[in-house]
């Protein structure tokens, strides 16, 4: 651990304050957009009462959903690995006391033998975090900003001053969706008044400048948000995180970019849940516990050589994906209730068996 003192703690506090600057900027921009649209455009500039009512009602609905999802993304705490993944006090003592080598391998082998860990480091070692002193669950990464291991970490977003991961990824997607709809709605309803500004069709008041800048801001944010939202929709459809899109997860048989993909429908349900009535609301409905995830991979014979980067036949055909026969918790059962798959796995245990047994492990520090 890094040494701490009065100087380092003061620097950390200063960094925490600076990290809130993007959030304050978005909040101020949102507050100004409310004043410019609701007051200057709808109330001051619109002459048709029906148009005012319709625009204000639709605007406030989008505004409320935007603020709600943004709030949830910011203030939902990222989830950290559960106690099963932390080393015991005795195991920590062994790691600190013994020289690196077989002793470290044996400690990690004992600690990880009952954990549902399928991913490895690039060298095939157990993914271990020296900083948090735990074995990393699948899709978990250490955030250098938060200084914690985050379950299913996607990225650290400065615009929400929070890690986007398992606990708030749905909220982040809804934040992108509602912010995009918010900007598109403003740009569409403000367009005719923006044109009037350039044709001198508006009275010479301060409202005309709010209308002009409001359209420019909404149009520019619409372009950037549409590309970002589209990218994350693609990630959801493939069951990938941003980190996994840039660096594919490594399994025992090698790198597999589609290792966690279960098919479009199940990929969507893993993020949004089974109950569609909650899909558009920023309430938590994702499936699972964040520590274990179904995988489409099938165990290879440990005695056979691994295939470094080849995809298995089940990975190529998403409709024939097999699921882990023993997830860590029953909370993953929503994605595992395929009676046909379970029947086949029970009658042919060698055909659909997840990689619960770990191969020979080597110690590698990875943060």
Cα dihedral 274/278/284/287 (nearest 10): 10
What does the block give as tokens for 32?
């100004």
Q: Which helix (H) or strand (E) holds 7?
A: helix 6-19
Render the burial of 185-222: b for 16+ CB within 10 Å, e for the rest.
bbbebbeebbeebeeeebeeeebbebbbebbebbbebb
- Active-site annotation holds for 14: no
Q: What is the torsional sign of CA 49, 51, 52, 53?
A: positive
What does the block give as tokens for 275?
């109950």
- Per the residue annotation, which of 140, 149, 157, 352 is the catalytic one? 157
DSSP count for the chain of H helices, then E strands? 12, 9
Phi, psi of 119 (to 5 degrees): -95, 155
The residues annotated with a catalytic role in the active site are 157
């Amino acid at each position: 651990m890094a040494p701490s003192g009065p100087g380092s703690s003061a620097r950390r506090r200063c960094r925490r304050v600076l990290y809130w600057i993007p959030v304050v900027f978005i909040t101020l921009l949102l507050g100004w957009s409310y004043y410019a649209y609701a007051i200057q455009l709808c109330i001051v500039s619109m002459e048709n009462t029906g148009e005012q009512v319709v625009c204000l009602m639709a605007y406030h609905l989008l505004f409320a959903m935007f603020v709600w999802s943004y709030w949830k993304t910011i203030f939902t705490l990222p989830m950290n690995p559960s106690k099963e993944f932390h080393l015991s006090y005795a195991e920590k003592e062994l790691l600190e006391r013994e020289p690196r080598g077989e002793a470290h391998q044996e400690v990690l082998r004992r600690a990880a033998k009952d954990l549902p860990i399928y991913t490895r480091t690039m060298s095939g070692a157990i993914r271990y975090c020296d900083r948090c002193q735990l074995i990393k669950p699948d899709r978990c990464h250490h955030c250098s900003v938060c200084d914690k291991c985050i379950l299913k970490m996607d990225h650290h977003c400065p615009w929400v001053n929070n890690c986007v991961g398992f606990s708030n990824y749905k909220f982040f997607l809804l934040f992108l969706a509602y912010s995009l709809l918010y900007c598109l709605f403003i740009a569409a309803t403000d367009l005719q008044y923006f044109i009037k500004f350039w044709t001198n069709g508006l009275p010479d008041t301060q409202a005309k400048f709010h209308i002009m800048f409001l359209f420019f801001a909404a149009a520019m944010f619409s372009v950037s948000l549409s590309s970002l939202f589209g990218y994350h929709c693609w990630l959801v459809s493939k069951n990938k995180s941003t980190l996994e899109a840039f660096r594919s997860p490594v399994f025992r048989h090698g790198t597999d970019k589609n290792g966690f993909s279960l098919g479009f429908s199940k990929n969507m349900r893993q993020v949004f849940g089974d109950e569609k009535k909650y899909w558009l609301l920023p309430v938590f409905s994702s499936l699972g516990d964040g520590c274990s995830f179904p995988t489409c991979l099938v165990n290879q014979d440990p005695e056979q050589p691994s295939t470094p980067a080849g995809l298995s036949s089940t990975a190529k055909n998403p409709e024939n994906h097999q699921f882990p026969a023993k997830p860590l918790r029953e909370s993953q059962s929503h994605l595992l209730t395929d009676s046909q798959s379970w029947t086949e796995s029970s009658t042919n245990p060698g055909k659909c068996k997840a990689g619960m047994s770990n191969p020979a492990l080597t110690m590698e520090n990875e943060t």
